[in-house]
Amino acid sequence: MPDISIVIDCGSCQVRPTVPEAIHNGYAAAAAKAGVPIAGDTKVTLTIKDYTERGIAERSAILVVSLLVPPVSLLLKDEIKADALIDGKQMPLEYHYRVPFRGIEAVAQKLGERTFEAVDR
């Protein structure tokens, strides 16, 4: 199984520095769970193309409002959209959470898992 390389190419977006590591950790955890070793000599490239992160103030406000009006918490989301280059083929991948309790690192980890699933097919 190839290792993963993360590239940020989403214009002026500000990707939290912990996101690439969380993607890599999710990818490695999925590989370990499947019992598949990661070979360092090849890589799959995951390019972040779109990135949306709710800020702390926004997340707190959503949390308070969601107690009063639950559907309001579902209006905004943390989301990462990316393209994976797998064996010369480009594959769009994305993941998001609307629940205010989860942050962008959780989205990144799930995107790493999804990337592993795409490579493993």
What does the pLDDT read at residue 57?
Answer: 56
pLDDT tens, N- to C-terminus, the chain (121 residues): 999 999 999 999 999 999 999 999 999 999 999 999 998 788 899 999 999 887 765 555 555 555 555 555 556 788 999 999 998 999 999 999 877 667 899 999 999 999 999 998 8
What count of residues does the chain have? 121
Backbone angles phi, psi at 8, to 5 degrees: -105, 120
**Taking the model in full, what pTM does it have?**
0.84
Show the domains of the chain with their CATH numbers: 2-120 (3.30.360)
What does the pLDDT read at residue 63?
Answer: 57
What does the pLDDT read at residue 61?
Answer: 56
C-alpha to C-alpha distance for 3 and 74, rounded to whole angstroms = 34
C-alpha to C-alpha distance for 107 and 46, rounded to whole angstroms = 14
C-alpha to C-alpha distance for 106 and 88, rounded to whole angstroms = 28
